[in-house]
Chains A and B, each alone.
Chain A
Amino acid sequence: MISPRTLRNLKKELRSSALAKLGIVLVLAMILVAAFAPFIALHNPTNQDLEENNLPPLGFSRTTEETSSEMVNGSLEIVNETVRINATASHPLGTNSLGQDVYSRAVYGARTSMMVGVLGTVLAAVLGVSVGLVAGFYRGRVDDALMRFADVSLAFPSLVLAIALIGLWGRAAVDVPDPFVALGIVDPVRAAFGLPTGMPDSFVLPGTVIIVVGLVNWVWFARIARGEALSIREEEYVKAARALGASDARIIGRHVLPNATTPILVLATIQVAAIILLESSLSFLGFSGTTLSWGFDISQGRGYLSSAWWIATVPGLAIVFAVIGVNLVGDWLRDALDPGIEGEGGV
């Protein structure tokens, strides 16, 4: 399905666009961070250490008021001291109010975002493209019915849907064992580098959230797929397939879908970004199945914005970079693949 000419266009666009390169770097970084989280994180992100809570990141320090009482000359005196709290090397980006390492949480948070982003997009794509292709190919009443259904779906706020589904199914959180930990290679590698061991042996796949984002976003795919199906069905090669005796299913699967991949692919990358944001909002509002999520951390850090700003800012920045990266990759794909003019230019 990816023709050599397409590959050439992709490479050409990549060479000429600095932004595309940046996008690829950011996305690759996110993928690698998510994949190798157990190796890259400094601490187990769920380890709490109340002694070391709210530590600032390196290069910053925090002042706090400490009140203590002292006996001075027989009377109780209350002394207010401003204490300076410094960063420590073992928590380079600081800790949150539970003493959990902000950096490590951001690293593991990438997993959540990536998984929900990718799986949610895949779900939305499969649903949306199926509906869209059928609607566009058959037109008429089928098209009307499906598209009205899509419109209704679009009008439905994601939050309400999330609440409803979580109410119905619970968080449907699946504990997926961490392959690296299961293989037992994490601890030795970490020990070799002098890093604390004991990383989480599983991570949470928030099932309901994935379904929610899939159900919310399928309409975009349906629209695009429908548009493509509408135009492709008029192509002569579709007529030719029909003349050969091909069934509708064959035509849709063998002729319409492969020729519709380009805009769907571009949409998919953009959707990943949107879904990462959506997941962040949902977990910010507490509707995620997992607490190891950027959105969740932001919600935790909301109350400390003036004092321990890093708790919310670090995951916030992570979201920003992830979304920018994915969007840039989407732009790259779109610019490279579109216009995909296959015809000859006359001289």
Chain B
Amino acid sequence: MTDEILKVRNLTTRFFTEEGQVNAVESVDFDVRDGETFGIVGESGSGKSVTALSLIDLVETPGRIVEGEVWYRDADLAEEHRESHPDAVDGDYVDVRQLPESTRRWLRGPAFATIFQDPMSSLNPSITVGEQIAEAVEVQRRARANPRRTRSRTQGYGLGRLLVDSVVPSRDYVSEESHERAVELLERVGIPDPEQRAEEYPHEFSGGMLQRAMVAQALAGEPDVLIADEPTTALDVTIQAQILNLLRDLQEEEDMSVVLITHNLGVIARMCQRVGVMYAGEVVERGALEDVFQNPVHPYTEGLLGSIPDIEDPAPRLSPIEGNVPSLLDSEMGEECYFADRCPKAMESCLHRIDEHEAESTVDDAAHHVRCVLANREYDESEALGPEAKQEVITDD
């Protein structure tokens, strides 16, 4: 019986921009189990990156999470907040969104850690790599060392600390143990010669090495969930293979869960046990890898799988999905299914909002959810939307 470490329910994030409201993420549900890799796959404009940011509360104005719960399993935390925030606690699960901001910040590290696509811009170019990782380690160490877990402001590297440091430079914020642990982490992620490399600056690292360093930094807090947003997209394919191997190994050894976000279906296939497909801000299909890849129900998933060239079996012609990704502006999104204008199987019933339905699953212990009417009925050609109707869908505001 596998238990869920993370349960996301009805997550909705909107951006309130000058051009109008952008519905970036719309009612997203998914679970992440202990020790598994959950993949989120989507193209640009699908909302996958904003979902990642929403999980760790890094969405900034004009964006805001307007609805939803992020249930994280932590018995101690649940116990602590049972009285003060009864709505935010359910058994061993705590709804992170309802906790005070300082608590949420504290969770970054031990609960959630992230690595992003471009390691070069995630690291400060003027501080050595070792120093940055050691800093992360130190922050985590201090947070844990505080017995009452007050999660106060001062456990971080604040302005006060900065001023003190500039006046009394001898008292280093980062301790010797943290430096040592940083070197250990560098070794852990497969960087040869870690003591030497810790003294180097980011620009002296290659792309693959830097990404490993990012993973090391993410591991500093011993996270339960590692969120990786396109971690290998910027890397060469042979380096990508190295990094994916690393993530695999680490996951097994640390019993860590991974949320892997990418547009590359091959990477998903390599790494994930379960996957969610996102389109126009919604999770249109989710389930076990086998179900999604071999028995896709949603026409977008089908289309996506059909449009990628297969390295082992080249088809004479690809079957692309016609049309373009829709606008996420609220004013331009109608009542119909967001995929209707491009869907080869669009029917009359697709002109209304579609809820998630349970579809057949071939894998035990894994549900297969689809946001499509085809989940529990066959495609009926007589109900098909002709091209004129689809055109209307496109032009209708």
Q: Chain A residues in contact with chain B, CB under 8 A? A: 12, 346-347
**Cα–Cα distance between A265 and B4 once the two chains are bound (Å):** 59
Q: Does B134 contact A (CB under 8 A)?
A: no
A-B contact pairs, 5 of them (CB 8 A): A346-B44, A346-B49, A347-B15, A347-B49, A347-B281
Among B47-79, those with CB < 8 Å from A are 47, 49-50
Task: Name the prevailing secondary structure of the A interface residues.
Answer: loop
Contact residues in B for A346 (Cβ distance below 8 Å): 44-45, 49
Contact residues in A for B22 (Cβ distance below 8 Å): 347
Identity of the chain A residue whose Cβ is nearest the Cβ of B328 in the assembled complex: A347
Q: A346-B44, A347-B24, A347-B47 are in contact. List 11 more A-B contacts (CB 8 A).
A: A12-B18, A346-B45, A346-B49, A347-B15, A347-B22, A347-B44, A347-B45, A347-B49, A347-B50, A347-B281, A347-B328
Identity of the chain A residue whose Cβ is nearest the Cβ of B44 in the assembled complex: A346
Contact residues in A for B15 (Cβ distance below 8 Å): 347
Contact residues in B for A12 (Cβ distance below 8 Å): 18
Contact residues in A for B50 (Cβ distance below 8 Å): 347
Identity of the chain A residue whose Cβ is nearest the Cβ of B63 in the assembled complex: A347
**Cα–Cα distance between A346 and B52 once the two chains are bound (Å):** 14
Identity of the chain A residue whose Cβ is nearest the Cβ of B18 in the assembled complex: A12
CB distance from B55 to the nearest CB of A (A): 15
By Cβ-Cβ distance, the 5 closest A-B pairs, closest first, are: A347-B24, A346-B44, A347-B50, A347-B45, A347-B47
**Cα–Cα distance between A129 and B22 once the two chains are bound (Å):** 41
Among B4-44, those with CB < 8 Å from A are 15, 18, 22, 24, 44
**Cα–Cα distance between A12 and B47 once the two chains are bound (Å):** 28
Contact residues in A for B328 (Cβ distance below 8 Å): 347
**Cα–Cα distance between A224 and B18 once the two chains are bound (Å):** 31
Identity of the chain B residue whose Cβ is nearest the Cβ of A344 in the assembled complex: B44
CB distance from B12 to the nearest CB of A (A): 14
**Cα–Cα distance between A12 and B15 once the two chains are bound (Å):** 19
Among B285-299, those with CB < 8 Å from A are none
Binary CB contact string for chain B from 332 to 356 against chain A (1 if under 8 A, 0 otherwise): 0000000000000000000000000
**Cα–Cα distance between A347 and B326 once the two chains are bound (Å):** 12
Identity of the chain A residue whose Cβ is nearest the Cβ of B48 in the assembled complex: A347
CB distance from B336 to the nearest CB of A (A): 20
**Cα–Cα distance between A346 and B47 once the two chains are bound (Å):** 9
CB distance from B17 to the nearest CB of A (A): 9
CB distance from B65 to the nearest CB of A (A): 14
**Cα–Cα distance between A61 and B45 once the two chains are bound (Å):** 73
Identity of the chain A residue whose Cβ is nearest the Cβ of B45 in the assembled complex: A347
CB distance from B132 to the nearest CB of A (A): 26
CB distance from B284 to the nearest CB of A (A): 16
Among B196-222, those with CB < 8 Å from A are none
**Cα–Cα distance between A12 and B19 once the two chains are bound (Å):** 12
CB distance from A63 to the nearest CB of B (A): 59
